[in-house]
Structure 1
Amino acid sequence: MSNPGEADSTPITSIRQLADYIAVGCKPSERFTIGTEHEKFGFRHSDFATPPYAPDGIRAVLEGIAATGWEQILDNGNPIGLKRDSASVSLEPAGQLELSGGLVGDLHETRAEFEAHFEDVRRAAEPLGLGFAPLGFHPRNTRAQMPWMPKGRYAIMRRYMPLVGSLGLDMMTRTCTVQVNLDYASEAEMVKKLRTSIALQPVATALFANSPFTEGKPNGYLSYRGHVWTDTDPHRSGIPAVFFEDGFGFERYAAWLVDEVPMYFVSRDGRYVDLAGQSFRRFMQGQLGNQEAGTATMGDFADHMTTVFTDVRLKRFLEMRGADAGSLDMMVAQSALWVGILYDDAALEAASALVRRHHWTAFAALRPLVPRQALDTPWANGTVRDLARDMVAIARDGLRARARRDAQGRDETVHLAPLEELVAGGPTQAERWLSRFNGEWGGDITRIFAEAAI
């Protein structure tokens, strides 16, 4: 989740003002960039336990990375993140380490950024006896065994989550994801990209399934992280109907945010004010009766936008949020899939046409099904693998049209290689792990940490 942002104290006067704030994200296609985010679980090499914040834990890792030229971000005096240029490192609730990468121009740069970050993390973690493994759901720990990081917003969410879903605390403490953030040129293009990508997120969940274990045993799912999101908070997650309403755009989205997504908090003088469950509309109207919260500002709205967890999140860009964290090749492939589909006009139209063959509710109905069977989930007259094959082919065409080449002369389609294998019938990451667990590992789940480590 996000680090604390720069507060904008401008008072909110209208929904149109909020829509205009989001619309600032529109930019010409020649200025489009790629921003990748991913999370990973820490573990101690000696006993595979999750490291605490301190001592000799996550705080020390942050401080070690900071020594390479990052500025620390503090919460009540505690380092809880880092920033440098357009990139940042932040902490998820149980110490999952997240890179929010810088804005880069092509997927070759994306891979290079991953590799550089992994080296920074290893350099900081190894002297502490720590490692990090990107997996969709923690394969070993119970919820009670996960530590909590000293970030003020997490205390509020920890109290509120059990009131709105049975798996929200698991989402916070025991999941890791990878996402790519992509641009749009106009309101109309935003709508087309949002509808296309959110309808296809269940397919991404299937392709990147990488969470088949819970508390040391197979859990019956290939993406347990995907299952967790089906019972986290229905008011701010999933595939909302509003995205497919006639006339949907920035203003309708802003109205949905303030009317239908409950608040968590506002930040005042370096501390969080608990407003969990309250209406942002009533806050705008000065009707909450909370003197400490005061007047609703644009900074409050910017924070509120970060508390929406839909499968694709609209901000001043679009966040693709349907995938489990996984291997380096797979996490770069996640960016490649969506860059190929969304950053070429012909590819976007082909993917949009693919989605329009079915009502959007068919894709929403697929969402709770794919966590169990992933690519083998029934779809139309075949399986989700058939739909994934079409998506990967469209992405391949889109990346080929972009013609962004690396030093060896290869275009960006090289980064789709793991997905080409999957749609040709290969096993998901989760299925590979299950095979290892039932075979060479002899049921010893701790073997996954060294093999999955960055």
Structure 2
Amino acid sequence: MSTRETSTADDPIIESFDQLVAPMIGGEKPKADWRIGTEHEKLVFNTRDHHAPSYDEPGGIRDILLSLKEFGWEPVEEGGKVIAMRGSDGTVSLEPAGQLELSGAPLENLHETCAETGRHLAQVKAIGERCGAGFLGLGMWPDKTREELPFMPKGRYDIMKRHMPRVGDLGLDMMLRTCTIQVNLDYGSEADMVQKFRVGLALQPLATALFANSPFTEGKPNGFLSFRSHIWSDTDPQRTGMLPFVFEEGFGYERWAEYLLDVPMYFVFRDGKYIDAAGLSFRDFMDGKLSVLPGERPTQSDWWDHLSTAFPEVRLKSFLEMRGADGGPWSRICALPAFWVGLLYDQTALDAAWDLVKDWSMEEREALRNAVPKQALDAPVPGGRTLREFGREVLKICRAGLTARARLNASGDNETGFLETLDEIVASGKVPAQVLLDRYHGDWNEDISRVYKYAF
């Protein structure tokens, strides 16, 4: 989630609908300027007893963050507490229960993206060895209850923690217990955005299946392969889901802004503090009728904040965010941007991907999305195939798209090598969660603590 530091006096007041669509229009870039931004979260645990470290304890989350200064990162504070670190590789920030996230820099190719990930993991591992901390690449805490998890000192999280139980049963699990990998990608025009949004949304269940990695809850199998994905189905129906209107005639920037106006607010940031506006209307805010700030109208920064509080499977800000994947280890952090860049950054591949899914009905899309958390690659797709069979075809398109990009490293290799871990998953038919379950029922002897040996 985004991190705010200050509010400024020169932040323009929003006076027209045109200002609401301006961030999306401003995101348009020529193809030569398209970049790749990769975000990935990891679970932090104490290596002595596997507890989730608090913010303040010795060797805890604050100490881990501040230790990044030795690698050139600079602190970001809120209310006098360090909540993030900024550097040339992006921002390292905190999720609600201390999950550590790298929001990577916008990079030109996948070789750079994977190198950035490698640098980050090497840094936090070195810090972890001194602090007695380890890091798990999973989609969800395998053994912790909500009550066992700490809470980080960020004002927006306090507001969300109070609001989540009002609108869904699993929102607190989303905040406290889950981790994801996410890819942020550019577009060249409104029409290009629309095609990429539609392909991304239709194929998000395939990404969820390939990266499914959250089969345990509180030490036992939970009956799902991606429980993290299931959690989103009972978090907040007004800000999640598959968004049928994206596939309707006329979808574009204005329709997206109208959707965001109907997503209830969480907060307003003023004078370094978050004001609770949970459940209130941004439309009322536009009219100066927000009850917590009577007479005030929103600024451009307020709108930017609001753009980050919708949680569909694909999200538009000034770029497109692909949000369907569970957290995982280094190889899969590199594989997710390869999957989406291969599909979306080459026009021939994008057209081929759209041809695969354009005739699906909304009911079929919803059915696939609902089946994947339990069935993963065994889920049926329209036309009678399994998602595994369908995935083979999609990965061929990915590979062709990456080949056409012809972004080579110093050894002359293109970007297709980053797909190998996904090729292996499809070939075996076993997603990461199924491999974990096999170990749990096999050599782990149903001892979930053995999972900590698979830390980064």
**Of 377, 380, 387, which aligns to 2:379?**
377
Equivalent position of 1:84 in the other structure: 87
1:67-90: CA deviations, max 9, x gaps?
A: 321111111111000112461111
Q: Is the contact made by 2:35 and 2:107 (CA closer than 8 Å) also made in structure 1?
A: yes
- SS for the counterpart of 2:233 is helix
Query: Does residue 106 of structure 1 match 2:109?
Result: yes
- SS for the counterpart of 1:379 is coil
Structure 1 unmatched ranges of 5 or more: none
Equivalent position of 2:357 in the other structure: 355
**Of 117, 120, 133, which aligns to 2:120?**
117
> Quick one: distance in 1 between partners of 2:293 and 2:220?
49
Deviation at 1:292, TM superposition (A): 7.1
Worse overlay, 331-340 or 235-244: 235-244
Query: Does residue 234 of structure 1 match 2:237?
Result: yes
Deviation at 1:284, TM superposition (A): 0.7
Equivalent position of 2:100 in the other structure: 97
> Quick one: distance in 2 between partners of 1:423 and 1:55?
43
Q: Is the contact made by 2:185 and 2:321 (CA closer than 8 Å) also made in structure 1?
A: yes
> AA paired with 2:3?
N
**Of 419, 437, 440, which aligns to 2:440?**
437
1:269-316: CA deviations, max 9, x gaps?
A: 000010000000001101123337832111000000011111011011
Query: Does residue 203 of structure 1 match 2:202?
Result: no
Equivalent position of 1:127 in the other structure: 130
Equivalent position of 1:308 in the other structure: 310
TM-score after normalising by structure 2: 0.97
Worse overlay, 349-358 or 83-92: 83-92
RMSD: 1.3
> Quick one: distance in 1 between partners of 2:89 and 2:52?
29
**Of 46, 49, 52, which aligns to 2:51?**
49
> Quick one: distance in 1 between partners of 2:219 and 2:187?
42
Q: Is the contact made by 1:73 and 1:79 (CA closer than 8 Å) also made in structure 2?
A: yes
Equivalent position of 1:2 in the other structure: 2
> Quick one: distance in 1 between partners of 2:421 and 2:43?
23
Equivalent position of 1:411 in the other structure: 414
> Quick one: distance in 2 between partners of 1:60 and 1:353?
50
> AA paired with 2:366?
A
TM-score after normalising by structure 1: 0.97
**Of 169, 173, 176, which aligns to 1:170?**
173
**Of 35, 38, 41, which aligns to 2:40?**
38
Q: Is the contact made by 1:273 and 1:292 (CA closer than 8 Å) also made in structure 2?
A: no
- SS for the counterpart of 2:370 is coil
Query: Does residue 194 of structure 1 match 2:183?
Result: no
Q: Is the contact made by 2:288 and 2:294 (CA closer than 8 Å) also made in structure 1?
A: no
Deviation at 1:5, TM superposition (A): 6.0
1:343-396: CA deviations, max 9, x gaps?
A: 000000001111113123311221121100100112231211122112111100
Q: Is the contact made by 2:48 and 2:132 (CA closer than 8 Å) also made in structure 1?
A: yes
Q: Is the contact made by 1:268 and 1:293 (CA closer than 8 Å) also made in structure 2?
A: no
1:23-42: CA deviations, max 9, x gaps?
A: 10000000111110000000
Equivalent position of 2:293 in the other structure: 291
Q: Is the contact made by 1:10 and 1:298 (CA closer than 8 Å) also made in structure 2?
A: yes
> Quick one: distance in 2 between partners of 1:104 and 1:353?
29
- SS for the counterpart of 1:67 is helix
The list of structure 1 runs, each at least 4 consecutive aligned residues, that deviate by more than 4 angstroms after superposition, is 5-8
1:94-117: CA deviations, max 9, x gaps?
A: 000000001111111111111100
